[in-house]
Amino acid sequence: MRGLRNVGAPRLTWILLGLMSVAAAAVVVILGLRLSFFNDEWYVLLQRPGLSADAIFEPSNEHLIATLIVQKTGANLMHVPYKGGGPAMADAMAGHIPIGMASVAGGMALVKSGKLRPIVVSSAERWPSLPDVPTVVESGVPDVVVMSWIGLIGPAKIPRPVVDRLNAELNASLNTPEMKEKMFALGVRVTPGPPEAFQSEIKKDYDRFGPVIKAAGITVEQ
pLDDT of 129 higher than 60: yes
Domain spans in the chain, listed from the N-terminal domain onward: 14-20+147-210, 25-121
pLDDT of 83 higher than 80: no
pLDDT, tens digit (0-9, with 9 covering 90-100), for 4-60: 333 344 556 789 999 999 988 887 776 555 555 555 555 555 555 544 455 554 557
CA dist 221 and 185 (Å) reads 34
Q: What percent of the chain is predicted at pLDDT more than 90?
A: 23
More confident residue, 10 or 105: 105
- Half-sphere exposure at residue 12, Cβ-oriented, CA atoms within 13 angstroms: 15
Q: For 14-20+147-210, CATH number?
A: 3.40.190.150
Q: Does this chain's domain 14-20+147-210 share its CATH topology with 25-121?
A: yes
In this predicted structure, which of 39-43, 181-185, 211-215 has the lowest mean pLDDT?
39-43
Look at residue 186 in the predicted model and tell me its pLDDT: 82
DSSP for 16-80, written as a single string: EEEEEEEEEEEEEEETT----TTSHHHHHHHTSTTT-EEEEESSSHHHHHHHHHHHHHT--PEEE
Q: How confident is the model at residue 191 (pLDDT cuts 50, 70, 90)?
A: very high
The CATH class that applies to domain 25-121 reads alpha beta
Amino acid 198 reads F
Task: Report phi then psi at 36, rounded to 5.
Answer: -120, 160
pLDDT of 175 higher than 90: yes
Q: How confident is the model at residue 193 (pLDDT cuts 50, 70, 90)?
A: very high
